[in-house]
Structure 1
Amino acid sequence: MNKKPLARFPALRLRRPRQTDWSRRLYEENNLSANDLIWAVILKDGKNVREPIAAMPGVHRLSPDEAVKAAIQARELGIPALALFPYTDADGRTEHGEEATNPDNLMCRAARIIKKEVPEVGLMADVALDPYTDHGHDGLMRDGEILNDETVEILIKQSVVQAQAGFDVIAPSDMMDGRVAAIRSGLDTAGFSHVQIMAYAAKYASAFYGPYREAIGSAGVLQGDKRTYQMNPANSDEAMREVALDLAEGADSVMVKPGLPYLDIVRRVKDEFGAPTFAFQVSGEYAMIKAAAQNGWIDGERAMLESLLAFKRAGADGIITYFAADAARAIHK
């Protein structure tokens, strides 16, 4: 790219194309549409449940029947897919997270009913044990150590029951080594070669996950932290190694999480690999924008759209976000 201007001021005036709406639209380098959005939805057992989440204003835990309504909204708004995450009460959690592999667990029941009523909307399943373990970690734990290979064996079973329930995309968020290849093999063996894997390839040990942990019920049970398996926020080259491994193991797409604090990682991933690249605008990012808007400190709608456009500018092909429905409505105005 020629970085030197072809002319100089006053012959060249970069403000000229900005003077009118039609011209600004013609010169626009990046565009945000509903097609770029995956709607993050928190599930809760029951019926007719719409339970507000205090740390995430405007977001509710939804029972499966209410999640169907969200899927119908997604279809009407042109949002291609939902990403589902389960809330689990403390008394539903166990040391080994057995509920993760229950073919009739909350995630699977919700997937079956959504696919029956709204089959054209894609469903993405989070794969990890943290919603189901009594210690709040993404994997099995022994004497304070997270067990990698033993956890992967459970994740294979979890992925297969989710595929059987109708999920279109399996999204392992656990950050165990080797899990993408193992899950791909498990899905193929079980007859689900058509089911995609979107790997949480560069998932950082971030402070921005706090509201989500409240949303799924793991905030009060988490023992210690997740720095032995989630990435150090200081590292960038390591993310490239993680992405390379996941793609080599059969991931159809990769994800960077969190989003806005890691736009440089999104850009590097897209530039270095050219693979389908997604970003997760996590709960803390959502909560900050909503809180500032509620206090009148920022224009909430403009900040929401600007933050989402930043992902596209950085090279993301799509964004998982709690803002999806609100953003799609704003885009359609």
Structure 2
Amino acid sequence: MSNLEFRRHRRLRQTPGLRSIVRETHLHTEDLIYPLFVVEGDNIKNEVPSMPGVFQWSLDRLGKEVEEAVNAGLQTIILFGVPSEKDETGSCAYDHQGIVQKATRQIKEHYPHLTVIADTCLCQFTDHGHCGVVEDGEILNDESLELLAKTAVSQAEAGADIIAPSNMMDGFVAAIRQGLDEAGFQNVPIMSYAVKYASAFYGPFRDAAHSSPKSGDRKTYQMDPANRREAFREAQSDAEEGADFLIIKPALSYLDIIRDVRNSHNLPIVAYNVSGEYSMIKAAAQNGWINEKEVVLEKITSMKRAGADLVLTYFAKDIAGWLNDSK
């Protein structure tokens, strides 16, 4: 066999040092966005049953969790609000004393350099659980835009650094951009949930945010998981309407879509590692079937390799700790 000719790719895999210097994709703490659920009330730290290690926090206990995130090196959080009252128009979403607004002011007072993203949607705040105005069972598109813009403006007034609308109404980025600009917030960027599928992976989140629809589903406004080309149309519309970031949600089953959007747009791309993806790994790890740290790091790295600049993940604080330990 001395006359065989072949390439020796293994040469670059022989030692940890060699593998490190030729590694193509790197994960850093600044790539991570940490989701936090904030609720009305006092002395509340409720673990979400379907999301081990994820909690709902009242404002008086939120500070400790934010402090831990900051000390771990995380630079960005996103707030999801769970109100004490709901109505048909989700008025607590755009109330200046709403839970997201109060949490934003509190966090920015103590951590002015921490980037705070406000999730901008109505589903947690409406008594019907849909992301817009409902009339005779129909989710009305244009009538919902005004309420979404009001919500975005109230969040910006509270100090949110980024507005992240997740409702998937047609024209939502244009409406929110106009609303922010007219209110004097021209410099507040929009992180659009540009490509959001009607996914079965959202179940645990709906437990955490109390946001399940009371009737019907969200398939008339969220995307069909079978569709690929539609993602190009959605992302293009949001980019043209003024989005500054594009979110693809979910992430793990949609790595091809992340790559497609990355190849077609120069805006920062955000992969949302959603609740179902989180909970499956937690359940498998608790049963001893997988190594949680290794699986999580491999999974998040795959999202960056697919083209994501940022990853929104419930594992963010854990990942930051693991990255710090490896230094």
**Cα offset, 1:53, TM superposition:** 0.5
| Correspondent of 1:319 among 288, 303, 311 | 311
**In structure 2, C-alpha distance between the alignment counterparts of 1:104 and 1:291, rounded to whole Å:** 37
Task: Please show how residues 124-135 of structure 1 align to structure 2 within 5 Å.
Answer: 124-135=117-128
Contact 2:39/2:83, CA 8 A, preserved across alignment:
yes
Q: Which residue of 2 aligns with 1:5?
A: none
Match of 2:73 in 1: 78
Q: Residue 163 of structure 1 aligns with which residue?
A: 156
| CA positional deviation for 1:214 | 0.6
User: Mind listing any 5+ residue stretches in structure 1 that lack a counterpart?
Assistant: 1-7
State the TM-score, normalizing by the size of structure 2: 0.96
CA drift at 1:34: 0.4
Matched, 1:183 2:176: yes
State the alpha-carbon separation in 1 of the partners of residues 238 and 99 from structure 2. 28
After superposing on structure 2, the runs of 4+ consecutive aligned residues of structure 1 that deviate more than 6 Å are: none
1:88–1:216 contact (8 Å) kept in structure 2 = no
Tell me the distance in 2 between the aligned counterparts of 1:317 and 1:67. Answer: 27
Are the counterparts in 1 of residues 30 and 76 from structure 2 also a CA contact under 8 Å? no
**What does the per-residue CA deviation read over 1:169-222, in whole Å, with 9 as the maximum and x for residues that have no partner?**
101100001111111111111111111100000000000000000101123x53
The aligned amino acid for 2:287 is N
Paired letter, 1:19: Q
CA distance in 2, matches of 1:68, 1:96: 30
**Deviation by residue 1:70-128 (Cα, 9 ceiling, x = unmatched):** 22222222212101101235xx1111111111100110000000000011111111111
Picking from 265, 268, 273, the partner of 1:273 is 265
Give the count of matched residue pairs.
323
Give the counterpart of 2:39 among 35, 44, 47.
44
Tell me the secondary structure at the aligned position of residue 196 of structure 1: coil
* Partner Cα separation in structure 2 for residue 10 and residue 68 of structure 1: 62
**Structure-to-structure mapping, 1:300-311, within 5 angstroms:** 300-311=292-303
Query: Residue type of the partner of 1:247?
Result: A
Within 5 A, what are the aligned runs for 1:89-108?
89=84, 92-108=85-101
Q: Which amino acid aligns with 1:249?
A: E
Q: Residue 83 of structure 2 contacts residue 98 of structure 2 at CA under 8 Å; is this kept in 1?
A: no
Residue 197 (structure 2) aligned to one of 189, 204, 209: 204
Q: CA deviation at 1:10?
A: 4.8
1:127-146 to structure 2, matched below 5 A, reads 127-146=120-139
Within 1, Cα distance between the matches of 2:140 and 2:312?
28
1:123 and 2:116 aligned: yes
TM-score, normalising length from structure 1?
Answer: 0.94
State whether structure 2 residue 12 is matched by structure 1 residue 12. Answer: no
**Identity among equivalent pairs (%):** 48
- Superposed CA RMSD in Å reads 1.3
Partner of 2:141: 148
Cα deviation, residue 299, structure 1: 0.4
| C-alpha separation in 1, matches of 2:132 and 2:313 | 24
User: 2:217 matched to which residue of 1?
Assistant: 225
Paired residues of 2:152 and 2:163 also in contact (CA < 8 A): yes
Distance 2:52 2:72 in 1: 21
SS in 2 for 1:132: coil
Aligned partner of 2:290 among 290, 294, 298: 298
Q: Tell me the distance in 2 between the aligned counterparts of 1:58 and 1:28.
A: 31
Q: Partner of 2:9: helix, strand, or coil?
A: coil
2:9, 2:245 → 1: CA distance? Answer: 37
Unaligned runs of 5+ in 2: none
Say yes or no: does 1:29 pair with 2:24: yes
1:270-298: CA deviation from partner (whole Å, max 9, x where unpaired): 11112210010000000000000000010
Q: Would the aligned equivalents of 2:168 and 2:222 in 1 still touch at CA under 8 Å?
A: yes
Q: Determine which of 254, 279, 292 is the counterpart of 2:246.
A: 254
Which residue identity lines up with residue 256 of structure 1 in the other structure?
Answer: I
Q: Is the 8 A contact 1:128 1:155 kept in 2?
A: yes
For the residue of structure 1 that corresponds to 2:151, the secondary structure is helix
Question: How big is the shift at 1:266?
Answer: 0.4
Does the CA-based 8 Å contact 1:41-1:85 persist in structure 2? yes
Aligned twin of 2:278: 286
Residue matched to 1:195: 188
Confirm or deny: 8 A CA contact 2:174 2:242 kept in the other structure: yes
CA distance in 2, matches of 1:9, 1:256: 47
